[in-house]
């Protein structure tokens, strides 16, 4: 009796796992996914994009029966493409209120930390947002930064290409630079000081407004734990980022609203 | 693209309307607006009533609203009233894009089809709640950018421009500011500062006075709605600066038209509130008729927005 019940449960489990695959694989066109390079998480490759974000996203979508075609491009072009081209999504973009009126933010993919950097030899002892007021501030041009600095009435120089921010800081264009880019990726030998953490926000998947509801529903389901679902651990392992994966799971997923 | 979306949605709506709903009784639609003292929402309510007058056989309509722009508590009271009357559809312009999500979850749990109009609910809150609430409305970024582009074209390079934003909790307020910022950056102007006017003329005037006083060489004020632009025009008069600082508004309400005609306000954007209401009702009726569930409704139905100037 118990064996029969177990067999039944296994069959049911397998059927449940296969159901979305069957539902989506029948004639569903691959979803075009565009993104800007974001080392070490996203790098352009012969196949479009690689890195833990790209591989984990592909894996999670495959579990829902969705196939992905990747293309690397600057974020502005990626967002423009999402608003004009059907069956297209942008991966790992920042939230912007204006884009939310013309595209659909389907799910969170990863947390990011906005950090205030200064040059360690510059002698700027900054520890809170108020202290930025008397300095030349550069920042990545995202809605959350605009909101935080705008609310505090602190002017800043927006940097559209985040990878240019640290070089601009080194060149003395700003006293402080606010970014989510991991400085070890691009700081070289110049010592950078992580003055303080400004905020923790998230990166998203933004899709075309005409995306079929069934596809959106499958994507929402797949992204419940962003790109840090347990299923994606082998992906992070191949990039030797197990520690980062586990830390992020512990800190980010536990903090998320249920 | 925007036009294509609009026409597509229009076609769906028009096709849906001549067909009688199959339900035995007429479906009931409740529309909850904000700031009924604002002419913009009066026009929106009027658009809904006109739609109903033309299709009175197809549904019943109840239009309600709060007096203030940010009265979340007042809207919650109206939602409870609506739940007691068991409306089939709720169309709501939320007083706040985030804090209204929780009360709307209760409405949806009661089986009421829920549609968001004009001021978009925050996707971050919707994703956390795991729900789809369709948005019917314009791209506020595009509308504000067109107003901003028109104003900055008349300024000297490097001029200073101030922003007066609606309310901090509103997605459309932030979207309009982003549209204005784009116009400022693309033209090489300088953003002098931002203040909140909370959609209101008196507080808009106060915000404008602060910006004028903190930046004596301010060249333009870009406002998140016409009421705040009216307040900004009053601030210029108070400082003897009429005609010296350009003003941009948003909404094209009747009260702004004399100011546009006299060049006291240079431009505004018309996002056709009556049409927005009609499109939201069409979406509701076609969804009911086809038995489409909340989660399967289109997430966005875009409506038009256009630049309005004297010329």
What pLDDT, in 10s, does the model give residues A175-193? Answer: 999 998 765 555 456 678 8
Q: Are residues B155 and B128 in the same domain?
A: no
- What pTM was estimated for this model as a whole? 0.83
Give pLDDT, residue B255. 96
Structure tokens at B4: 């294509």
Contacts of B156 (CB under 8 A, 6+ apart): B219
Between B240 and B5, the higher pLDDT residue? B240
| Contact indicator for B303, B276 with CB cutoff of 8 Å | yes
Between B5 and A245, the higher pLDDT residue? A245
Q: How far A150 CA sits from the closest chain B CA (Å)?
A: 7
Q: Is B35 left (phi over 0), alpha (psi -120 to 50) or beta?
A: left
Give pLDDT, residue B143. 97
* DSSP conformation class of A38: B
Phi, psi of A181 (to 5 degrees): -75, 130
pLDDT band at A116 (very low <50, low <70, confident <90, very high): very high
A8 within a domain of the structure (yes/no) = no
The answer to whether the Cβ–Cβ distance between A98 and B175 falls below 8 Å is yes
For residues B45, B75, B117 and B19, what is the CA-based torsion angle, rounded to 10 degrees?
-60
Mutate to test the interface with A, among B299, B301, B302, B303 (most CBs of A within 10 A): B299
A232 within a domain of the structure (yes/no) = yes
* DSSP conformation class of A250: I
pLDDT band at A125 (very low <50, low <70, confident <90, very high): confident
Overall domain count for chain B: 2
CB within 8 Å of chain B, chain A residues 14-53: none
A194 within a domain of the structure (yes/no) = yes
Q: Are residues B242 and B263 in the same domain?
A: yes
Residue with tokens 């512990």: A250
Judged against a pLDDT cut of 60, whether residue A202 lies above it is answered with: yes
pLDDT band at A150 (very low <50, low <70, confident <90, very high): confident
Asked if ipTM goes beyond 0.90, one says no
**What is the rounded average pLDDT of the residues B225-230?**
97
pLDDT band at A161 (very low <50, low <70, confident <90, very high): confident
The answer to whether the Cβ–Cβ distance between B120 and A100 falls below 8 Å is yes
- Selecting from A95, A98, A108 the residue whose C-beta is nearest the C-beta of B179 gives A98
Element (H, E) at B97: none
- Selecting from B139, B168, B174 the residue whose C-beta is nearest the C-beta of A102 gives B139
Alpha carbons A112 and A248: distance in angstroms, whole number: 10
A216-227 per-position pLDDT tens digit = 999 999 999 999
Q: Are residues A107 and A206 in the same domain?
A: yes
Between A152 and B236, the higher pLDDT residue? B236
- Selecting from B2, B122, B141 the residue whose C-beta is nearest the C-beta of A98 gives B141
Phi, psi of A49 (to 5 degrees): -145, 145
Between A194 and B94, the higher pLDDT residue? B94
Alpha carbons A129 and A40: distance in angstroms, whole number: 28
Q: Are residues B123 and B18 in the same domain?
A: yes
CA distances (Å), A215 to each of A65, A163, A195, A197, B291, in order?
Answer: 9, 33, 42, 36, 19
Q: Are residues B96 and B243 in the same domain?
A: no
Task: Identify the closest residue of chain A to B142 by CA–CA distance.
Answer: A98
Alpha carbons B263 and B41: distance in angstroms, whole number: 25
Q: Are residues A129 and A197 in the same domain?
A: yes
Pairing of strands A103-119, A176-179: antiparallel
Q: Are residues B232 and B284 in the same domain?
A: no
- Residue B266 half-sphere exposure, CB side, CA atoms within 13 Å? 22
| Contact indicator for B119, B94 with CB cutoff of 8 Å | yes
- Selecting from A98, A155, A210 the residue whose C-beta is nearest the C-beta of B139 gives A98
Q: Are residues B36 and B96 in the same domain?
A: yes
Judged against a pLDDT cut of 90, whether residue A163 lies above it is answered with: no
Alpha carbons A35 and A89: distance in angstroms, whole number: 9
What domain range is A93 assigned to? 29-111+202-255
**What is the rounded average pLDDT of the residues B29-47?**
95
Q: Are residues B111 and B160 in the same domain?
A: no
The answer to whether the Cβ–Cβ distance between A101 and B135 falls below 8 Å is yes
Q: Are residues B240 and B183 in the same domain?
A: yes
Q: Are residues A78 and A90 in the same domain?
A: yes
The answer to whether the Cβ–Cβ distance between B168 and A256 falls below 8 Å is no
Is some CB atom of chain B closer than 8 A to the CB atom of A138? no
- Selecting from B1, B178, B191 the residue whose C-beta is nearest the C-beta of A84 gives B1
Q: How far A219 CA sits from the closest chain B CA (Å)?
A: 11
Give pLDDT, residue A146. 87
Handedness of CA A225, A226, A228, A230 (dihedral sign): positive
Helices A52-63 and A213-222, axial angle in degrees (round to 10): 120
Q: How far B104 CA sits from the closest chain A CA (Å)?
A: 16
- Selecting from B5, B128, B141 the residue whose C-beta is nearest the C-beta of A257 gives B128
Alpha carbons B56 and A249: distance in angstroms, whole number: 54
pLDDT band at A13 (very low <50, low <70, confident <90, very high): very low
Task: Identify the closest residue of chain B to A214 by CA–CA distance.
Answer: B296
CATH of residue B192's domain is: 3.40.50.2300
The answer to whether the Cβ–Cβ distance between A143 and B128 falls below 8 Å is no
Q: Are residues B215 and B106 in the same domain?
A: no
Overall domain count for chain A: 2
Element (H, E) at B31: strand B28-33
What domain range is B266 assigned to? 140-270
Alpha carbons B178 and B9: distance in angstroms, whole number: 26
CB within 8 Å of chain B, chain A residues 167-206: 202
Is some CB atom of chain B closer than 8 A to the CB atom of A95? yes
Mutate to test the interface with B, among A94, A98, A225 (most CBs of B within 10 A): A98
CATH of residue A191's domain is: 3.40.190.10
Percent of chain A with pLDDT over 90: 59
Q: Are residues A192 and A119 in the same domain?
A: yes
Q: Are residues B130 and B18 in the same domain?
A: yes
Structure tokens at B159: 């001029």
Mark out chain B residues that contact chain A at CB-CB < 8 A. Answer: 1-2, 5, 120, 122-124, 127-128, 130, 132, 135, 137-141, 168, 171-172, 174-175, 177-179, 181, 185, 191, 193-194, 295-300, 302
For residue A106, the chain B residues in CB contact (below 8 A) are: 127
Q: Are residues A96 and A38 in the same domain?
A: yes
Q: Are residues B244 and B280 in the same domain?
A: no
A22-49 per-position pLDDT tens digit = 444 445 689 999 999 998 999 999 889 9
């Amino acid at each position: 009796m118990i064996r029969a019940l177990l067999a039944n449960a296994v069959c049911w489990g397998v059927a449940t796992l296969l159901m979305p695959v069957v539902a989506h694989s029948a004639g569903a066109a691959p979803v075009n996914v565009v993104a800007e390079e974001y080392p070490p998480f996203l790098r352009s490759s012969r196949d479009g994009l690689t890195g833990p974000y790209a591989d984990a996203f592909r894996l999670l979508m495959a579990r829902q029966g969705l196939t992905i075609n990747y293309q690397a491009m600057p974020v502005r072009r990626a967002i423009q493409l999402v608003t004009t081209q059907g069956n297209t999504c942008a991966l790992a973009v920042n939230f912007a209120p204006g884009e939310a009126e013309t595209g659909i933010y389907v799910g969170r993919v990863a947390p990011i930390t906005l950090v205030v950097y200064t040059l360690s030899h510059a002698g700027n002892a900054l520890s809170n947002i108020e202290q930025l007021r008397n300095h030349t501030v550069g920042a990545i041009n995202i809605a959350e930064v605009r909101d935080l600095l705008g609310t505090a009435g602190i002017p800043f120089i927006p940097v559209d290409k985040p990878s240019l921010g640290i070089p601009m800081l080194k060149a003395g264009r700003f006293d402080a630079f606010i970014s989510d880019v991991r400085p070890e990726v691009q700081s070289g030998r110049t010592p950078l000081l992580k003055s303080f953490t400004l905020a923790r926000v998230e990166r998203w998947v933004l899709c075309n407004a005409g995306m079929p509801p069934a596809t959106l529903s499958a994507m929402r389901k797949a992204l419940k734990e962003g790109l840090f679902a347990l299923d994606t651990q082998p992906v992070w392992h191949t990039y030797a980022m197990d520690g980062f994966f586990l830390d992020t799971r512990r800190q980010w997923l536990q903090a998320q609203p249920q | 693209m925007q036009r294509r979306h609009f026409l597509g949605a229009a076609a769906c709506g028009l096709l849906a309307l001549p067909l009688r709903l199959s339900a035995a009784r007429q479906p009931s639609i409740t529309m909850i607006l904000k700031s009924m003292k604002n002419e913009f929402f009066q026009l929106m309510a009027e658009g809904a009533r006109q739609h109903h007058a033309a299709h009175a056989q197809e549904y019943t309509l109840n239009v309600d609203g709060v007096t203030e722009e940010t009265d979340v508590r007042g809207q919650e009271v109206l939602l409870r009233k609506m739940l007691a009357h068991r409306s089939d559809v709720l169309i709501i312009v939320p007083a706040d894009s985030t804090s209204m999500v929780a009360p709307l979850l209760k409405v949806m749990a009661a089986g009421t089809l829920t549609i968001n109009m004009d001021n978009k609910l925050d996707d971050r809150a919707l994703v956390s709640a795991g729900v789809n609430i369709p948005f019917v409305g314009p791209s506020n970024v595009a509308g504000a950018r067109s107003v901003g582009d028109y104003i900055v074209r008349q300024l000297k390079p490097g001029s200073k421009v101030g922003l007066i934003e609606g309310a901090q909790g509103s997605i459309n307020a932030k979207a309009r500011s982003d549209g204005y910022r784009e116009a400022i950056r693309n033209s090489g102007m300088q953003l002098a500062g931002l203040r909140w006017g909370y959609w209101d003329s008196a507080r808009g005037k106060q915000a404008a006075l602060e910006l004028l006083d903190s930046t004596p060489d301010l060249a333009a004020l870009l406002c998140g709605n016409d009421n705040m632009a009216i307040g900004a025009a009053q601030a210029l008069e108070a400082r003897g600066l009429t005609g010296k600082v350009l003003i941009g508004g948003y909404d094209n309400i009747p009260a702004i038209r004399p100011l546009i005609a006299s060049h006291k306000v240079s431009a505004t954007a018309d996002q056709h509130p009556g049409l927005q209401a009609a499109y939201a009702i069409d979406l509701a009726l076609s969804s009911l008729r086809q038995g489409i569930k909340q989660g399967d409704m289109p997430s966005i139905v875009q409506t038009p927005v256009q630049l309005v100037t004297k010329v």
